[in-house]
């Protein structure tokens, strides 16, 4: 048996189980070992029966009698009595008819399960049972619980792992010995063994810290190596012209916020260097990132160079082109702003490509169409990537290659990321934060609405539509689900368009529609031809509809905290008051998360809370950044982040990656999937 052996070679893993494991990404023994538990149940404390209290318990006892019977609708119940020196207790299993025959009288067993009330008497429900004379896998210890799939249980995963325990014990160390010693880290073999077979709570804490440290250390090291590589590149500097900057500000129809002024100055300083700019501008929804990008671009246009802005959707690209054109027109650059998107006719595309090649179009806004081979840039000096997490690494690299050298790059994101996390994820980027909104924007009023007040809420929405405003109704599902009890967009659209809003123009938008249908529907909403748009989270990062003032979330308890904040940012984007209604499901209580959204409009505060409540997955889910794979580290652990950064910087000074084959392989992968390599 080796790490490359297929799991099919393990005892108890037939074709059916192997297929189920493959659904979880487990095909080899190495995959199995790398499949970490998602939580643990602590059954390690043996309790005398007389001292049992409600909750998880473990006893060591003999089984005096066990009987099974079928009850209503084919359900089978097995009941047994277990005894130790202090007392006896009932054991109950549902639909496990083999239990009675499997239990041998007078044998000592470890029995672990939940001690709870059943038919007015306490019993241990559905317990795991193992002979006390054998090494326990499912009882009398801290039990790892894995992410499961239908037809595959944690018990089966634990049984498979027990067979490869000798291999886990021979895991080669991946970090230098000086690092283990300085930061008091377990060796890798111990940590891998403890993550699957912890002997104590403290050992589990130490194992999680060791593996979490390596996760963060690896990402930071990859980022630092990318940053060094970028620093060695050369980009033609763009000279700062104070008159151009003042002229830009003078012609704006609004006043820049202090945050915008600060970030623009940071960008101007970057552009003057011969080292390529590589900056991320994090702005909360509605903080004015497009204006910052336009102000940066004007300095490049003033130097007779080109700018390309790539947006994730055609609708967003068109919106950016219109906004930017109106902003730069007073400065004489209006005719040099052009659009290149997939839905343009062949003739339109050819004309645009020709103007780009000749340098007649110098501010090009587009989608993935910008990275087609047929697009030949004239003198590309600045690239702006909007919602940068929506693009793959190769797409971003292809656009950069069109400059013929390393251009200055500005990334924009509307996903507020706590600074500690941003520094970890984007170690190679300089980070600017837009944390203020334009003065004329009114804070969005957010309110949790119980299901019993639904009719009253719809009436309030209708009143807003009557005044000429528009509304979003967002649902967690596209269509009905047999598993989840939640409103679907199709069902809500059908109901609202036929009943509560039958006198209004109601539209439907979700991710399963064809691209041109989505584009057409959203454009109709932008143009005011739809009063109420029923949608899924496909509109989470999207267009600016100043006339939309209401965001109503059906089954609000099913949305992530950061996701709600993003959706809320779709409304209140003008001088009109914006409203966000969090409509609860029939039996859903108001949660701490929803109450936090109701209290504050600060996306960064909410992101911090989301991180605390839900872990890094919440942020990664929003950012589609799964490849970075932080599975164990708590990103609220600022000490560990600081130690990992210090260790990565020290490693670059004193070690050679060629000496560490396993680490080197991981760093190569991470350099490809982190932000800019």
Calculate ∠ Cα 483-486-490, nearest 5°: 105
pLDDT in tens, 478-505: 765 544 556 788 999 999 999 999 999 9
pTM, full prediction: 0.72
Kindly indicate the confidence band of residue 666, based on its pLDDT and cuts at 50, 70 and 90. Answer: confident
Residue 54, pLDDT score: 94
Residue 426, pLDDT score: 67
What are the extents of the domains in the chain?
45-145, 211-231+638-673, 242-273+288-413, 445-600
Calpha distance 219→666 (Å, rounded):
9
Residue 623, pLDDT score: 41
The CATH code of the domain at 45-145 is 2.40.50.140
Strand partners, 338: 364
Q: Which of 5-19, 185-199, 307-321, 352-366 bottoms out in mean pLDDT, i.e. has the lowest?
A: 307-321
CATH superfamily of 242-273+288-413: P-loop containing nucleotide triphosphate hydrolases (3.40.50.300)
CA torsion angle for 106, 112, 117, 121 (degrees, to 10)?
10
Calpha distance 397→414 (Å, rounded):
21
Kindly indicate the confidence band of residue 626, based on its pLDDT and cuts at 50, 70 and 90. Answer: very low
**Residues with Cβ within 8 Å of residue 112, at least 6 apart in sequence:** 43, 56, 57, 58, 127, 128, 138, 139, 140, 143
**Helix, strand and coil in the chain, % to nearest 5:** 45, 20, 35
Determine contact, residues 431/282, Cβ cutoff 8 Å. Answer: yes
Q: Which of 248-257, 341-350, 634-643 bottoms out in mean pLDDT, i.e. has the lowest?
A: 634-643
What is the helix (H) or strand (E) element at residue 299, kind and residue range? helix 289-302
pLDDT in tens, 122-179: 999 999 999 998 888 899 999 999 999 988 999 999 999 999 999 999 999 999 999 9
The label of the residue with tokens 């500097």 reads: 237
pLDDT in tens, 203-253: 999 999 999 999 889 988 988 888 888 888 888 999 999 999 999 999 998
DSSP three-state, residue 318 = helix
pLDDT in tens, 504-541: 999 999 878 887 888 889 889 999 999 999 998 877 55
Same topology for domains 45-145 and 445-600, yes or no? no
Kindly indicate the confidence band of residue 271, based on its pLDDT and cuts at 50, 70 and 90. Answer: very high
Q: Cα(first)–Cα(last) distance of the chain, in Å?
A: 37
pLDDT in tens, 26-43: 999 999 999 999 899 889
pLDDT of residue 365 exceeding 90: yes
Which option is the CATH number for 445-600: 1.10.620.20, 1.25.40.20, 3.30.420.40, 3.40.50.300?
3.40.50.300
Calpha distance 675→378 (Å, rounded):
26
- Between residues 646 and 632, which one has the greater pLDDT? 646
Calpha distance 665→104 (Å, rounded):
51
Q: Which two tokens stand for residue 480?
A: 């009905």
């Amino acid at each position: 048996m080796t790490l490359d052996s297929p799991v099919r070679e393990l005892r108890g893993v037939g074709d059916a189980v192997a297929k189920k494991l493959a659904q979880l990404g487990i095909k080899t023994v190495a995959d199995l070992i790398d499949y970490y538990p998602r939580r643990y149940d602590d059954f390690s404390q043996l309790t005398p029966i007389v001292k049992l209290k409600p909750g998880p318990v473990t006893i060591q006892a003999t089984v005096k009698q066990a009987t099974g019977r079928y009850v209503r609708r084919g359900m089978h119940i097995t009941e047994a009595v277990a005894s130790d020196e202090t007392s006896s207790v009932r054991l109950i299993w549902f639909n496990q008819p083999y239990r009675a025959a499997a239990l041998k009288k007078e044998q000592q067993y470890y029995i672990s399960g939940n001690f709870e009330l059943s038919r007015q008497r306490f019993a241990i429900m559905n317990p795991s049972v193992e002979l006390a004379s054998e090494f326990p896998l499912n009882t009398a210890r801290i039990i790892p619980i894995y992410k499961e799939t239908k037809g595959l249980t944690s018990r089966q995963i634990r049984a498979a792992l027990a067979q490869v325990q000798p291999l886990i014990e021979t895991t080669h160390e991946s970090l230098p010995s000086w690092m283990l010693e300085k930061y008091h880290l377990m060796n890798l073999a111990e940590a891998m063994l403890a993550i699957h077979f912890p002997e104590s709570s403290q050992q589990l804490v130490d194992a999680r810290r060791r593996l979490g440290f390596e996760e963060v250390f690896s990402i930071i090291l990859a980022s630092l190596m990318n940053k060094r590589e970028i620093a060695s590149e050369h980009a033609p500097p763009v000279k700062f012209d104070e008159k151009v900057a003042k002229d830009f500000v003078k012609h704006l129809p609004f006043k820049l916020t202090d945050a915008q002024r600060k970030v623009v100055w940071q960008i101007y300083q970057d552009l003057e260097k011969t080292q390529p700019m590589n900056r991320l501008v994090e702005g909360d929804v509605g903080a004015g990132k497009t204006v910052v990008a336009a102000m940066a671009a004007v300095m490049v246009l003033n130097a007779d160079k080109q700018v390309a802005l790539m947006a994730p959707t055609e609708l967003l690209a068109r919106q950016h082109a219109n906004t930017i054109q109106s902003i730069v027109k007073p400065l004489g650059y209006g005719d040099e702003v052009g659009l290149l998107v997939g839905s343009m006719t062949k003739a339109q595309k050819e004309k645009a490509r020709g103007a780009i090649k000749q340098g007649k179009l110098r501010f090009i806004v587009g989608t993935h169409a910008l990275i087609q081979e047929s697009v030949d840039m004239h003198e590309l000096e600045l690239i702006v990537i909007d919602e940068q997490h929506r693009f793959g690494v190769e797409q971003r690299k292809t656009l950069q290659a069109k400059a013929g050298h390393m251009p200055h790059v500005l990334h924009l994101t509307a996903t507020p990321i706590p600074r500690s996390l941003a520094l970890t994820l984007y170690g190679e980027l300089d980070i600017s934060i837009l944390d203020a909104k334009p003065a004329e924007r009114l804070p969005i009023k957010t309110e949790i609405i119980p299901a019993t007040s639904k009719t009253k809420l719809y009436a309030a929405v209708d009143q807003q539509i009557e005044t000429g405003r528009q509304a979003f109704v967002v649902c967690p599902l596209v269509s009905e689900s047999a598993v989840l009890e939640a409103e679907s967009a199709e069902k809500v659209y059908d109901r609202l368009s036929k009943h509560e809003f039958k006198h209004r123009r109601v539209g439907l938008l979700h991710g399963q529609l064809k691209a041109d249908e989505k584009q057409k529907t959203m454009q109709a909403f932008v143009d005011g031809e739809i009063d109420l748009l029923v949608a899924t989270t496909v509109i989470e990062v999207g267009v600016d509809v100043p006339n939309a003032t209401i965001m109503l979330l059906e089954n609000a308890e099913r949305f992530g905290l950061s996701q709600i904040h993003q959706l809320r940012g779709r409304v209140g984007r003008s001088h009109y008051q914006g409203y966000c209604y969090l409509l609860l499901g029939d039996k859903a209580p108001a949660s701490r998360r929803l109450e936090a959204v109701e209290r504050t409009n600060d996306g960064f505060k909410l992101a911090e809370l989301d991180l605390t409540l839900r872990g890094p997955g919440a942020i990664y889910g929003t950012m589609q950044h799964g490849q970075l794979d932080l599975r164990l580290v708590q990103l609220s652990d600022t000490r560990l982040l600081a130690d990992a950064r210090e260790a990565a910087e020290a490693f670059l000074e004193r070690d050679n990656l060629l000496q560490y084959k396993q680490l080197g392989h991981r760093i190569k992968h991470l350099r490809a999937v982190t932000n800019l390599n």
